[in-house]
Amino acid sequence: MRRRWGCASEAAYDARGSATVELMLSISLLILILWFVILCGRMSDARLRIEDVAHQAARAATIEGNEAVAAAQARNTANAALGEAGVTCRSLDVTTMGSVRPGSTVTVTISCAVGLHDLALLGVPGTATLTARFASPVDVYRGGTAHNHRTTLERIVELYTGDLFDGHTAEWLEAPREAVRRDVLDAVSTLVHILRDTEPEQALALLERARRFDRYNEAIYRDIARFQSHLGQHDAVSRTLALLTTTLTELDDEPSSETVALFTSLRSPKARQPAT
């Protein structure tokens, strides 16, 4: 009986030891999975924010009068936008390609090396380089003095009250109707860049008007939210996202992850702090 009891005790001890090892392995695996989820979430969020930065930088570059100044403006805009988005780049490369002639296109590529040292447990490199690219058309109405340029653009926006031959459904109207609408939206975009530093309230009003012309354009809602945040209208940022969400339900769609990430950052406590 003693010998049997000794064998049984030894078997029970071995079973408990195996269970302990299995538990430790399971916990280690769960920790690795958790770190991997954090890595994926961080990379996805950073990528979306950098794509939005490339968008802002390209649009800023199209306003300048020559390629050298456009490249400098793209870099300055990228640095400022990355700071606002809370993205820290260990190294940053901003490349501007294209011409600033009216009707041409400027393409800005952002390459940002983000730090991953705190995720060394996964065996990932210390940094990962994320790249985003955006091409923006140059205003076709550029020309003359700055005052005449602004006056011309304001007149274009003022004269546009809705779709060309609104209410008519002839197929041949679709192409010219869309062309006119896009030209007006380009004029609004250029005016916004002209006014953003000196008359941000007017720039915001123009964007609100553009939203009525292009109700499903998420880029317009994102620009509206940026100005609202800049002007301290933080509650309006949430209303803008709600309006976009409601509007897109008409298409059985929803805001993109890029748009949601931007609105989240603009509503964060850091974004609510007054600029210094």
- pLDDT category, 250, cuts 50, 70, 90? very high
Other CB atoms within 10 A of residue 130 CB: 19
Structure confidence by residue, pLDDT tens digits, 146-168: 556 778 788 888 888 887 777 77
Tens of pLDDT, residues 100-135: 887 788 999 999 988 765 554 445 556 778 899 988
Specify whether 119 is located in the same domain as 173.
no
Cα–Cα–Cα angle for 85, 86, 88, rounded to 5 degrees: 120
Tokens of 78: 């990228």
Q: Contact, 138 vs 62, CB < 8 A?
A: yes
The three-state secondary structure class of 136 is strand
Judgement on whether residues 150 and 261 belong to the same structural domain of the protein? yes
Pair 213, 266 in one domain: yes
Give the pLDDT of residue 275: 38
Reported pTM: 0.53
Any domain includes 7: no
- Domains in the chain, number: 2
Based on the fold, state whether residues 27 and 116 are members of the same structural domain: yes
Q: Taking a C-beta distance cutoff of 8 angstroms, is the pair 237, 225 a contact?
A: yes
Percent of the chain with pLDDT over 90: 22
Residue 3 lies in a domain: no
Domain that holds residue 129: 15-137
Q: Residues 170, 255: one domain?
A: yes
Band (137; pLDDT cuts 50, 70, 90): confident
Measure CA 177 to chain center: 29
| Tokens matching residue 13 | 């001890």
Give me the pLDDT at residue 36, please: 58
Shared domain for 106 and 155, answered yes or no, is: no
Q: Categorize the per-residue pLDDT at 170 as very low, low, confident or very high, splitting at 50, 70 and 90.
A: confident
Q: In terms of domains, do 43 and 129 share one?
A: yes
Q: Are residues 176 and 123 in the same domain?
A: no
CB 260 within 8 A of CB 245: no
User: Which amino acid makes up residue 2?
Assistant: R
Express each pLDDT in 231-247 by its tens digit.
Answer: 999 899 999 999 999 99
Residue 14 neighbours by CB under 8 Å, 6+ apart: none
9 belongs to a structural domain = no
Of 86, 106, 137, the domain-final residue: 137
Shared-domain flag, residues 124 and 182: no
Q: What average pLDDT does this structure show over 180-187?
A: 82
Residue 160, both tokens: 């546009």
